[in-house]
Amino acid sequence: MDKHETPLKITAVRFLRSVKIFMSSEAGIKARWRLAGLVLLLCGINALNVVNSYVGRNFMTAIADRKTAEFIQQAIFYIGVFAASTVVAVIARFTEERLALLWREFLTRRAVKLYLADATYFHMGSSGQLTNPDQRIADDVRAFTITTLSFILMVFNSALTILAFSGVLWSISPLLFVVAVFYAACGSYLTITLGRPLIKLNYDQLDKEANFRSGLIQVRESAEAIMVANGEEQQNARLLQRLDEAIGNFRRITAINRNVGFFTTGYNWLIQIIPALIVAPAFIRGDVEFGVITQSSAAFALLVGAFSLIVTQFQSISNFAAVVARLSSLLEAFEQSHAPAVPSGIEIVEQDHLAFEHLTLLSSDGRTVLKDFSASVGVGTRVLITGPNQAAGAALFKAAARIPTAGSGRIIRPGPERTILFLPQQPYLMPGTLRQTLVRPDKADEMSDDRILHLLREFDLDVGQAGGLDKERDWDAVLSLREQQLLALVGIVLSGPRFVFLDRLNTTLGAEEFQKILQKLSACSIAYLNVGGTSAYEDLYDATLTCEQEGKWTWAVHPSRAWTH
């Protein structure tokens, strides 16, 4: 499991809250109508089952009494009830699946929104407080919605069955009714006792399977690096270790399932013979018709099945309990991840300009890399961040980008409306079409193809000309690092932010090429702060921040522009 297990009470509260949120949403209005229809269909199924028990009784009695006309009439009734039951059952199943799909869509959209809000995905990953959130959102939400709805309907259907057949069974034999209740109670107790460990084992199995799958994905994504480093043996050992963990845990699951299976199989076999043992003597004495024996068997089986939900569905219930606990942990992680994973005394304030006030930054080992730095970057201002202490520039880049960084002081920066962008040395290019990668969704209709293609040619990129702007590609796989950086820069120019932070791009791009890029940014009135650059082209900068050892720094303002700090 995770580092701490969520208490059962909290899990139950979150489960009920999840249901309440769904039912009170816009999708919940549609769900209520479907649920009401489903309840009516289940009532219809149980009513048809009761009718079927009486038709079946008369049918078997007609056979025993050798009454041909009665046999034919009851056979027609039998077929009619079966046909009606089939239609109602299929429609009920269809409605249940559509209701589960509606719920899954709502929960998944909500989970994805929470996961991507306020950098939750980053804080959860850096803190390590939760394993495999991707699997929990994709697979566990699906299992949760389908299984929850199935169990709710199963419990409701069992309650209807108990109400419908208790009277039938009592009218046949009060003793048989008492035996059914006692038999189901004993069976449920013994099943819980034997199968209790399955809940934790099923919880662990989901994580171990996800760990093995994520290892395979990492091999695929790092195929070239593994080949260069001859890392096949290490990867083989790592994957086989994860496989062994999953198989070992599953062996324990199968051992407990075997023990539970011995009991439940015998339990289900006895259901078939107990009614005959009690009712057959009455038939032999001539007190009841022959059809009553078959009716009592059917009623007893249905009633015991309704009372024995834990026995018949224990494996599914244990899986469901594990899924609910995992989703409860996911919600808890969402709630806790809004706090930075690394304690930081840096205050970030959103305003319409960029400034640093008494900013001190620390490295991961606690060393001071930048001490008491203050400056204000005006609109259109071009800044070079250089010096022997490269860690200071990297830390300043991270702190300004809201990545948790140890230190103190204050950073004033524009809000998240893309008025300030950050381009790391290894840019992130979302897999998809070229248009999706370069153009914001809210600007897609405003950006012409000619402008996009013109910028691609201006940045010496031949992507887009062959496949067009709407061909799906995995850009990290098909482009070199240089091309990825250039493509990201095209996206920045199209977005038109007021400020952009560049991180050591000159180590990949050529000097003349990088100079051309800076001139383009300046021509578009985009202020840039270039981390790790050189002072070879002083006319491209209005100020230089030189980071020295032990957190010292110097600020040089070029005379071509007025500057305040």
Q: What are the CA-CA distances from residue 264 to residues 22, 80, 190, 335 (Å)?
A: 36, 34, 9, 41
CB 377 within 8 A of CB 528: no
Q: How far is the C-alpha of 471 from the C-alpha of 213, rounded, in Å?
A: 28
Q: How far is the C-alpha of 419 from the C-alpha of 409, rounded, in Å?
A: 22
Longest dimension (CA), the chain: 117
Q: End-to-end distance of the chain based on CA atoms, in angstroms?
A: 52
CATH code assigned to 345-557: 3.40.50.300
CB 539 within 8 A of CB 511: no
Instruction: Give the domain 8-336 fold.
Output: ABC transporter transmembrane region fold (1.20.1560)
CB 374 within 8 A of CB 565: yes
Average pLDDT for the chain: 79
CB 77 within 8 A of CB 19: no
62-66-68-72 Cα dihedral, nearest 10 degrees: 30
Query: What are the residues whose beta carbons fall under 8 Å from the beta carbon of 387, sequence distance 6 or more?
Result: 393, 545, 546, 547, 548, 553
Residues of the chain falling short of pLDDT 50: 1-7, 339-343, 562-565
Tokens of 213: 């799958």
CB 329 within 8 A of CB 2: yes
Q: How far is the C-alpha of 351 from the C-alpha of 360, rounded, in Å?
A: 20
Domain with CATH 1.20.1560.10 in the chain: 8-336
The CB density around residue 468, as the number of other CB atoms within 10 Å, is 12
Can you tell me whether residue 244 is helix, strand or coil?
A: helix
CB 395 within 8 A of CB 553: no
Q: What are the CA-CA distances from residue 433 to residues 284, 475, 478, 486 (Å)?
A: 79, 9, 13, 16
pLDDT in tens, 272-306: 777 777 777 777 777 777 677 777 777 777 777 76
pLDDT in tens, 119-157: 676 766 655 556 667 767 777 777 777 777 777 777 777
Domain with CATH 3.40.50.300 in the chain: 345-557
Q: How far is the C-alpha of 328 from the C-alpha of 20, rounded, in Å?
A: 15
Q: How far is the C-alpha of 237 from the C-alpha of 260, rounded, in Å?
A: 35
CB 527 within 8 A of CB 499: yes
| Closest C-alpha among 79, 13, 92 to residue 45 | 92
> DSSP H helical segments within 285-359, as ranges?
290-307, 309-312, 314-336
pLDDT at residue 247, as a whole number: 92
